[in-house]
A and B are shown apart, each in its own frame.
Chain A
Amino acid sequence: QKEVEQNSGPLSVPEGAIASLNCTYSDRGSQSFFWYRQYSGKSPELIMSIYSNGDKEDGRFTAQLNKASQYVSLLIRDSQPSDSATYLCAVNSLYNFNKFYFGSGTKLNVKP
């Protein structure tokens, strides 16, 4: 079992819709969770961090964390074509807080 799992996609949504990206993780004691956006050929860019159960909103982005279900999600409201990218979920290691596990990413396509 991989430490962090994401659906590879592609996930296609029309412009203006809500995109929902999901991630599950295996280390129950993980404390820190992050979403990164990676455009083709570029390095990952941090979008959101979340540390506590519940929702965290930042502009059009909302991160949701459910530690009991070992599940973290990212919602993108009013999706724009510029949101088309691969979204990576990252979780810190229960056994080594200096170490992070990354999912393989979900490719999002926002159609105009």
Chain B
Amino acid sequence: SQTIHQWPATLVQPVGSPLSLECTVEGTSNPNLYWYRQAAGRGLQLLFYSIGIDQISSEVPQNLSASRPQDRQFILSSKKLLLSDSGFYLCAWSPGHSYEQYFGPGTRLTVT
């Protein structure tokens, strides 16, 4: 069966500090991978998605970036965090386009 991991689970970072969130998927190959952010009490905002290694699409222009160094690894990064980057970051995988997405446990980021 497939499993998706995210770490860390929670993170408190000062404004201007860097960020690295990691997501890995087990039990499948060549998945579509997604990064979402959910602000408190709000819906899901798609940040990035990837259909393959080094194939990453950015949905929202901002100070975040994503990389996919391996087939089942997806990394979300920032060089300098803003207060507005606080939120619940969710990684998801899908077996292909138009198919269901499965979410990881999420990382709760607080920027102070």
The chain A residues found within 8 Å of chain B, CB to CB, are: 31-32, 34, 36, 42-46, 49, 88, 90, 92, 97-100, 102-105
Contact = CB atoms under 8 A, between A and B. Distances in A.
Contacts of A34: 100-101
Given A46-B100, A46-B101, A102-B44, 12 more contacts: A32-B98, A32-B99, A42-B106, A43-B103, A45-B103, A88-B44, A97-B97, A98-B49, A98-B51, A98-B94, A99-B59, A105-B43
Contacts, number: 47
Interface residues on B, range: 20 to 34
A97 B32 CA distance: 11
B98 A31 contact: yes
B43 A99 contact: no
Contacts of B104: 43
Instruction: Give 6 nearest A-B pairs by CB, closest first.
Output: A104-B43, A97-B97, A102-B44, A43-B103, A32-B98, A98-B97
